[in-house]
């Protein structure tokens, strides 16, 4: 694509984003005042916290309101309102209302949206260093990954966004990845050849599944349910939270709880907006995200067994698999991705 064409596409995308934003604003009627407990149930509309504040930020993400990232966003808004003595509010546009995650990134860079909780998978398509988070079996639990987000290695990955119009501020964890399947019980790579599995369209995740012998389809989250229902896919890479919040238990029978990868959302903000805040207000934003991230990881960690039971109650065969059957593919991943980028190599070396 020529520079001139790519600029026109960028303008068209920004315009579409603006129109989506306007239409979302017109449709909106969900109101959650500051100090809410985050239990908003309305789907497909925005959540507003302290909407009459002096400065109301706008945040977007891709998950339904029942998912932890939305609850973490509400928590973030509550803390912003409280710590700024009511000067800051937050409007949250969930469930991909504003388009795909690629659209959201364009809106954040253009300044029509202020914040995004964007999957590290999407970010890995922008900056390869984010692939480091997908090194298989690098962390045993999301609490370990949550500690790693405070490391220099994790910050260095966020800093790769410095040349864009966004700033990477933090990571939020809602669960680890597992393997869901319709008809074949997956107990190791031998069961995976011949299966077509949905994997988030992210190069490191696709690489891992291809090395296991599966065929992959890179399908975005909102289209996964019908792909499984109609048999376009035999299974999917997913987390526990999204399996429940998207009702995937209705269309697949087996859940291999591999916990093979962590799954961060990256908290990004328009950089001009961040730079325009006073030092004190920047710190309020940073602290509020930090607390929302801890809330997200700790809450979901505690709910893991409860979620497995819930899926069993829905009729799924839910079972644990450790990393033993996947050792050679783990080594293959480390070698291949460490050679791609020294930030990935440093990250794997620090946490393996």
CB atoms under 10 Å from CB of 37, counted, come to 10
- Shortest distance (Å) from residue 223 CB to ligand BEZ: 10
Closer to ligand BEZ by CB, 106 or 200: give it.
200
Closer to ligand BEZ by CB, 21 or 221: give it.
221
- Shortest distance (Å) from residue 8 CB to ligand BEZ: 29
Q: Which of 265, 220, 263 is nearest to 239 (CA)?
A: 263
- Shortest distance (Å) from residue 283 CB to ligand BEZ: 28
Closer to ligand BEZ by CB, 151 or 229: give it.
229
Closer to ligand BEZ by CB, 238 or 262: give it.
238
Part of the chain binding ligand BEZ (CB under 6 A), chosen from 26-34, 128-136, 236-244, 308-316: 236-244
- Shortest distance (Å) from residue 239 CB to ligand BEZ: 6
Closer to ligand BEZ by CB, 137 or 263: give it.
263
Residue 66 engages ligand BEZ in binding (rule: CB under 6 A): no
Residue 63 engages ligand BEZ in binding (rule: CB under 6 A): yes
Residue 119 engages ligand BEZ in binding (rule: CB under 6 A): yes
Residue 221 engages ligand BEZ in binding (rule: CB under 6 A): yes
Site map 242..281 versus ligand BEZ, x via CB under 6 A: x---------------------------------------
Part of the chain binding ligand BEZ (CB under 6 A), chosen from 49-57, 180-188, 237-245, 299-307: 237-245
Residue 200 engages ligand BEZ in binding (rule: CB under 6 A): yes
Closer to ligand BEZ by CB, 221 or 269: give it.
221
Residue 62 engages ligand BEZ in binding (rule: CB under 6 A): yes
- Residues near ligand BEZ (CB under 6 A) are 62-63, 119, 200, 221, 238-239, 242
């Amino acid at each position: 694509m020529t520079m001139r064409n790519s600029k026109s596409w960028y303008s068209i995308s920004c315009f579409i984003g603006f129109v989506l934003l306007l239409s979302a604003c017109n449709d909106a009627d969900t109101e959650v005042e500051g100090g809410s407990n985050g239990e908003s149930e309305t789907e497909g509309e925005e959540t507003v916290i302290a909407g009459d504040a002096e400065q109301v930020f706008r945040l977007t993400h891709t998950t339904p309101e029942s998912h932890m990232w939305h609850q973490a966003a509400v928590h973030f808004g509550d803390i912003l309102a409280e710590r700024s003595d009511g000067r800051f509010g937050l409007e949250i546009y969930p469930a991909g209302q504003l388009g795909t995650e690629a659209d959201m990134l364009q809106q954040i860079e253009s300044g029509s949206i202020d914040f995004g909780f964007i999957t590290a998978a999407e970010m890995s398509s922008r900056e390869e260093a984010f692939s480091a988070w997908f090194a298989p079996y690098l962390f045993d639990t999301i609490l370990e990954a949550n500690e790693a987000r405070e490391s220099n290695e994790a910050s260095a990955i966020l800093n790769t966004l410095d040349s864009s119009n966004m700033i990477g501020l933090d990571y939020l964890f809602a669960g680890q990845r597992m393997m869901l399947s319709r008809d074949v019980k997956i107990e190791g790579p031998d069961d995976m050849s011949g299966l077509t599995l949905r994997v988030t369209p992210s190069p490191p995740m696709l690489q891992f599944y291809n090395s296991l012998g599966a065929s992959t389809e890179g399908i975005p989250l909102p289209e996964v349910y019908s792909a499984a229902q109609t048999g376009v896919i035999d299974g999917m890479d997913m987390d526990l939270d999204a399996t429940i919040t998207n009702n995937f238990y209705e269309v697949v029978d087996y859940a291999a709880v591999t916990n093979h990868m962590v799954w961060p959302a990256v908290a990004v903000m328009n950089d001009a907006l961040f730079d325009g805040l006073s030092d004190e207000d920047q710190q309020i934003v940073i602290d509020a995200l930090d607390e929302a991230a801890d809330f997200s990881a700790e809450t979901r960690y505690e709910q893991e067994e409860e979620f497995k039971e819930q899926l069993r109650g829905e009729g799924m065969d839910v079972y644990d698999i450790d990393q033993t059957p996947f050792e050679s593919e783990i080594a293959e991943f480390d070698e291949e991705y460490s050679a791609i980028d020294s930030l990935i190599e440093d990250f794997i070396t620090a946490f393996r």
